[in-house]
């Protein structure tokens, strides 16, 4: 089997310096936007209810700029905020960072060494390029980072990280140009990426994942935990790592769905723990020669991964192992109970055949104590490709396996089809509506305004049993709260949604 997953990561390359029209004086002074309006010589102005950043603003070392009130900042074309001191955006509700001209976009933020005390919180960033972190361990929390589509070498992802152990938590990151979060391949960074909603990035449909990573520190490890990572564009993967150097990563408690592939570790010198993730339906490109694995491991024997307690289903391939990579999917014969398997791997198929595990290496691997969707050993054997299928391959040691009475399945069975998910929410101007039906029935989807007035019917037809998705484009509507209601014979759900323009 030949499977190709291309990953675009960039070696360290510093962009040429762009000199700003105004730098704070570096006198250990605290600034706010109003004081910058007075002192910046026109770089920061205020008009029509919003602040304007008209040229690049440098926050010098020892100075602090605090934005603690709700407001709007509009940045001119190709400018950015260059932080050597401290920038704190911490409003009670939100500060929107947007473009003066949404066609001629701005660059964004660059946080440099000694900017560790900086905080971006309750911020909306849109129509720019990137938040770029250089040697800076700051906090980005509870922000909305969307529609940043400016094509520039300033940053190649919505959040671009170099030598940073930042905390990136509780954010919504969506519809950006390529990756949501990315590092340099050869630059060790170990951030914590926790409890974010990361979806529908890579609108360029380039050959990159939504989290695109290279090297990490050995200690602390990089942590990717509790995120929802959903795809839309057919070339966008979920999480991928290609380390020039080495990487130590914990990937756990994530929900990774509807991407080209789920998790791909694509080089040697990676030590990974992949634990308790739902990796489901990563098959949107549909070409098994180019991807579609729930988990793909491709490297030499220094690629080591413990894979446990995951739900891997509905992908083109379940787990694929290439080169001489050394994953451990369950070994009950050793004394260490941290590698006892407990995965559920089933229903991964392409070209009419189930491939729950494909050991495309010459070495044997352990995959004991897992549930394979059946208790019949011959059926499990038929779903695993290894030495019994080709003498060039190593064995998969999958016995003993778990039975259905041993586990609590998280399968999206028909009895569970009552989900209603609207994402993104807040949105501008388009959102995706996802719901499931127990039975075929007539469904109507209506949109109501805040007063309860019906403003639009977006669906009115018979639908089959199963999961359904459709988009609503609110480009002609005003910003505000709306209510989405889905009704049918045995289905009645209402969801509040927020349009922010």
CATH of the domain at 471: 2.60.40.1930
Provide mean pLDDT across the span 468-486. Answer: 88
How much of the chain exceeds pLDDT 70, in percent?
92
Query: Is 423 inside any structural domain?
Result: yes
pLDDT tops 50 at residue 224: yes
Count helices and strands (H / E) in the chain. Answer: 2, 50
How much of the chain exceeds pLDDT 90, in percent?
77
**DSSP tag of 338:** G
Residues 26, 108 within the same domain: yes
Reported as a pLDDT band with limits 50, 70 and 90, residue 415 is: very low
Last residue of a domain, one of 411, 432, 448: 411
* Cα–Cα dist 297/284, whole Å: 20
Query: Is 198 inside any structural domain?
Result: no
Query: Is 14 inside any structural domain?
Result: yes
Asked if 25 contacts 36 with a C-beta cutoff of 8 angstroms, the reply is no
Sign, CA torsion 302/191/311/259: negative
- Cβ-based burial of 16 (10 A; exposed 0-12, middle 13-18, buried ≥19): exposed
What local confidence, expressed as pLDDT, does residue 420 receive?
Answer: 67
Task: Please indicate whether residue 11 or residue 157 has the higher confidence score (pLDDT).
Answer: 157
Query: Is 200 inside any structural domain?
Result: no
Task: Give the pLDDT confidence of 310-369 residue by residue, as tens digits.
Answer: 999 999 999 999 999 999 999 998 888 889 999 999 999 999 899 999 999 999 999 999
Reported as a pLDDT band with limits 50, 70 and 90, residue 407 is: low
Residues 1, 138 within the same domain: yes
Residues 421, 342 within the same domain: no
Query: Is 187 inside any structural domain?
Result: no
Structure tokens at 46: 């205020």
Task: Give the pLDDT confidence of 267-319 residue by residue, as tens digits.
Answer: 999 999 999 999 999 999 999 999 999 999 999 999 999 999 999 999 999 99
Residues 11, 90 within the same domain: yes
What local confidence, expressed as pLDDT, does residue 185 receive?
Answer: 87
The residue segments making up the domain with residue 458 are: 415-499
Residues 266, 323 within the same domain: yes
Task: Give the pLDDT confidence of 110-164 residue by residue, as tens digits.
Answer: 999 999 999 999 999 999 999 999 999 999 999 999 999 999 999 999 999 999 9
Query: Is 358 inside any structural domain?
Result: yes
What 3-state class would DSSP assign to 415?
helix
What local confidence, expressed as pLDDT, does residue 39 receive?
Answer: 96
What 3-state class would DSSP assign to 170?
coil
Residues 121, 235 within the same domain: no
What local confidence, expressed as pLDDT, does residue 464 receive?
Answer: 84
pLDDT tops 50 at residue 40: yes
**Does pTM top 0.85 for this prediction?**
no
Of the listed ranges 105-114, 370-379, 460-469, 473-482, the least confidently predicted one is 460-469
pLDDT tops 80 at residue 489: no
Asked if 88 contacts 66 with a C-beta cutoff of 8 angstroms, the reply is yes
Our count of domains for the chain comes to 3
* Cα–Cα dist 71/87, whole Å: 15
Other CB atoms within 10 A of residue 378 CB: 7
Task: Please indicate whether residue 384 or residue 416 has the higher confidence score (pLDDT).
Answer: 384
* Cα–Cα dist 131/111, whole Å: 8
* Cα–Cα dist 28/163, whole Å: 26
Beta-strand (E) ranges in 24-112?
30-31, 44-47, 50-53, 57-59, 64-67, 71-75, 80-83, 86-89, 95-99, 108-111
| Long-range contacts formed by 348-353: CB under 8 A, 24+ apart | 348/294, 348/312, 348/313, 348/314, 348/315, 348/316, 348/317, 348/318, 349/316, 350/283, 350/288, 350/292, 350/316, 350/317, 351/288
pLDDT tops 60 at residue 100: yes
Strand-by-strand arrangement of the 466-473 sheet = 420-423, 430-437, 466-473
Residues 311, 428 within the same domain: no
On the question of a cis peptide bond just before residue 381, with omega within 30 degrees of 0, the verdict is: no
Of the listed ranges 187-191, 251-255, 476-480, the least confidently predicted one is 476-480
Residues 407, 420 within the same domain: no
Reported as a pLDDT band with limits 50, 70 and 90, residue 433 is: confident
What local confidence, expressed as pLDDT, does residue 16 receive?
Answer: 38
Last residue of a domain, one of 382, 411, 440: 411
Last residue of a domain, one of 155, 171, 196: 155
Residues 406, 443 within the same domain: no
* Cα–Cα dist 220/195, whole Å: 19
pLDDT tops 50 at residue 256: yes
Residues 406, 493 within the same domain: no
pLDDT tops 70 at residue 419: no
Q: Which residue has the tokens 């630059």?
A: 187
What local confidence, expressed as pLDDT, does residue 465 receive?
Answer: 76
Residues 385, 441 within the same domain: no
pLDDT tops 50 at residue 179: yes
Provide mean pLDDT across the span 459-471. Answer: 84
Other CB atoms within 10 A of residue 390 CB: 12
pLDDT tops 80 at residue 13: no
On the question of a cis peptide bond just before residue 461, with omega within 30 degrees of 0, the verdict is: no
What local confidence, expressed as pLDDT, does residue 328 receive?
Answer: 97
* Cα–Cα dist 76/392, whole Å: 60
* Cα–Cα dist 117/30, whole Å: 14
How many CA atoms within 13 Å lie on the side-chain side of 100? 18
Provide mean pLDDT across the span 478-487. Answer: 88
Query: Is 167 inside any structural domain?
Result: no
Residues 407, 457 within the same domain: no
Structure tokens at 314: 């509905």
| 38 membership: H or E segment, kind and range | helix 33-39
* Cα–Cα dist 145/167, whole Å: 15
Query: Is 212 inside any structural domain?
Result: no
- Paired strand residues for 456: 447
Q: Which residue has the tokens 């671009």?
A: 160
Length of the chain: 501
Reported as a pLDDT band with limits 50, 70 and 90, residue 404 is: low
pLDDT tops 60 at residue 238: yes
- Paired strand residues for 448: 454, 483
Provide mean pLDDT across the span 369-393. Answer: 94
Task: Give how far the C-alpha of residue 459 lies from the chain's centroid of Cα atoms, to the nearest Å.
Answer: 29
Asked if 136 contacts 115 with a C-beta cutoff of 8 angstroms, the reply is yes
């Amino acid at each position: 089997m030949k499977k190709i997953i291309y990953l675009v990561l960039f070696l360290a390359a510093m962009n040429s310096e762009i000199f700003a029209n105004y730098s704070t004086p570096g006198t250990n002074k605290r600034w706010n936007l109003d004081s910058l309006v007075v002192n910046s010589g026109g770089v920061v102005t205020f008009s029509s209810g919003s602040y304007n950043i008209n040229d690049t603003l440098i926050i010098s070392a020892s100075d602090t700029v605090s934005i603690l009130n709700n407001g709007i900042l509009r940045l001119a074309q190709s400018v950015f905020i260059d932080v050597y001191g401290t920038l704190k955006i911490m409003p009670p509700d939100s500060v929107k960072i947007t473009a003066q001209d949404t066609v001629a976009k701005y660059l964004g933020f660059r946080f440099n060494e000694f900017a560790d005390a900086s905080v971006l919180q309750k911020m909306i960033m849109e129509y720019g390029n990137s938040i770029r972190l250089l040697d800076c361990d700051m906090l980005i929390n509870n922000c909305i980072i969307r529609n940043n589509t400016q094509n520039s070498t300033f940053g190649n992802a919505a959040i671009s990280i170099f030598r940073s152990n930042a905390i990136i938590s509780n954010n919504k990151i969506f519809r950006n140009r390529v990756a949501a979060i990315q590092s340099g391949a050869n630059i060790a960074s170990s951030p914590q990426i926790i409890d974010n909603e990361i979806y529908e990035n890579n609108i360029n449909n380039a050959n990159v994942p939504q989290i695109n990573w290279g090297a990490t520190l050995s200690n602390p490890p990089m942590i990717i935990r509790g995120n929802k990572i959903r795809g839309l564009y057919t070339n966008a993967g979920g999480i991928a790592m290609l380390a020039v150097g080495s990487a130590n990563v914990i990937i756990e408690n994530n929900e990774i769905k509807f991407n080209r592939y789920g998790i791909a570790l694509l080089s040697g010198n990676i030590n990974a723990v992949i634990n308790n993730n739902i990796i489901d339906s990563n098959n949107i490109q549909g070409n098994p020669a180019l991807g579609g694995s729930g988990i793909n491991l491709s490297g030499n024997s220094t690629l080591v991964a413990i894979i446990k307690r995951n739900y891997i289903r509905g992908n083109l391939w379940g787990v694929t192992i290439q080169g001489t990579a050394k994953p451990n999917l369950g070994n009950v014969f050793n004394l260490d109970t941290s590698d006892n398997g407990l995965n559920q791997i089933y229903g991964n198929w392409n070209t009419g055949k189930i491939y729950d595990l494909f050991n495309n290496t010459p070495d044997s691997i352990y995959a004991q104590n897992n549930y394979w969707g059946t208790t019949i050993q011959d059926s499990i054997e038929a779903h695993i490709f290894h030495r019994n299928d080709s003498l060039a391959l190593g064995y998969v040691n999958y016995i003993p396996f778990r039975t259905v009475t041993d586990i609590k399945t998280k399968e999206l069975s028909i009895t569970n089809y009552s989900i209603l998910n609207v994402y993104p929410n807040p949105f501008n101007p388009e959102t995706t509506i996802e719901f499931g039906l127990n039975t075929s029935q007539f469904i109507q989807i209506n949109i109501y305004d805040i007063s309860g007035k019906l403003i639009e019917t977006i669906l009115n037809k018979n639908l089959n049993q199963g999961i359904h998705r459709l988009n609503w484009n609110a480009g002609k509507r005003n910003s505000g709260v709306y209510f989405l209601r889905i009704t049918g014979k045995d289905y009645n759900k209402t969801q509040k949604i927020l349009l922010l323009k």
